[in-house]
A and B are shown apart, each in its own frame.
Chain A
Amino acid sequence: MGKPLPKRDGQPEVPVPSFADGGISAEELILSSQSLSEGLLQTTIFIPDMHCGGCIQKVERGLGALDGVEGARVNLSTKRAIVKWKKSDRPLPLLETLRDLGFNASLVAPETGAKNRTMTELVRALAVAGFGASNIMLLSVSIWSGAEPAMRDLFHWISALIALPVLAYSGRVFFRSAWGVLKHGKTNMDVPISIGVLLAFGLSFFDTIKGTEHAYFDAAVMLLFFLLIGRTLDHMMRERARVAVKNLMRLAARSAQVLHDDGSHEYVSVSKIQKNMRIGLAVGERVPVDGIVDEGQSDFDCSLVTGESVPQPKLVGALLQAGTLNLTSPVVIRATATEDQSFLAQMTRLLEAAEMGRSGYRRIADRAASLYAPFVHTAAFLGFLVWLFVTGDFHQSLTIAVAVLIITCPCALGLAVPMVQIVAARRLFEKMILIKDGSVLEKLCDIDSIVFDKTGTLTLGKPELSNKYDVKPLHLSVAAAMAKYSRHPFAQAIVAANDSQGEDAIAFTAFTEIAGFGLEATSGDDIFRLGRTEWALGKEDGLDEIGAGSKTILTKNGVLLDVFRFSEVIRPGVRELIRKLTRSGLEICILSGDDYGAVEKLATELNVSRFEANMHPKDKVDFLNAMTARGRKVLMVGDGLNDVPALATAHVSMVPGNAADIGRDAADIVFLDKSLEAVSHILNISHRANSLIQQNFGFAIVYNVVALPFAFFGIVTPLVAAVAMSASSILVVANALRLGRKAASGHIVSSTSVKNSNALAMKREGVL
Chain B
Amino acid sequence: MNNILLYLIPISLCLGGVGLAAFLWSLKDGQYDDLRGANERIVFDEDEPLPDRHNPES
- Interface residue ranges, A against B (CB under 8 Å): 52-53, 56-57, 60, 64, 70-78, 84, 120, 123-124, 127-128, 131, 134-135, 138, 150-151, 154, 158, 162
Contact = CB atoms under 8 A, between A and B. Distances in A.
A131 B16 contact: yes
A399 to B, nearest CB: 27
Given A53-B44, A57-B44, A75 B20 contact: no
A120 B2 contact: no
Interface residues of B, number: 27
B20 A73 contact: no
A70 B51 CA distance: 11
Contacts of A127: 20, 23-24, 27
5 contacts: A56-B41, A56-B44, A64-B51, A73-B56, A74-B37
Contact of A135 (B13, B28, B33, B37): B13
A154 B24 CA distance: 29
Nearest to A155: B9
Contacts of B13: 135, 158, 162
A76 B37 contact: yes
B27 A75 contact: no
Contact of B27 (A124, A131, A154, A158): A124
A124 B24 contact: yes
| Interface secondary structure of B, over-half rule | helix
Contacts of B12: 135, 138
Interface string B21-35: 001100110000111
B56 A76 contact: no
B35 to A, nearest CB: 6
A76 B36 contact: yes
A60 B37 CA distance: 12
B16 A70 contact: no
Nearest to A79: B36
A75 B40 CA distance: 11
| Interface secondary structure of A, over-half rule | helix
A120 B27 contact: yes
A52 B24 CA distance: 28
A481 to B, nearest CB: 46
Nearest to B56: A71
Contact of A123 (B9, B27, B51): B27
B56 A72 contact: yes
A124 B32 CA distance: 13
Contacts of B9: 158
Given A71-B51, A151-B2, A77 B24 contact: no
A382 to B, nearest CB: 40
A151 B4 CA distance: 12
B29 to A, nearest CB: 12
Q: Which 8 A-B pairs have the closest CB atoms?
A: A71-B56, A53-B40, A76-B37, A75-B34, A76-B36, A131-B20, A77-B36, A77-B34
A154 B5 CA distance: 10
Given A124-B24, A135-B13, A162-B13, 16 more contacts: A53-B40, A56-B41, A71-B57, A73-B53, A73-B56, A75-B33, A76-B34, A76-B37, A84-B56, A120-B28, A127-B27, A131-B16, A131-B17, A138-B12, A150-B2, A158-B13
A73 B55 CA distance: 11
Nearest to A116: B33
B37 A56 contact: yes
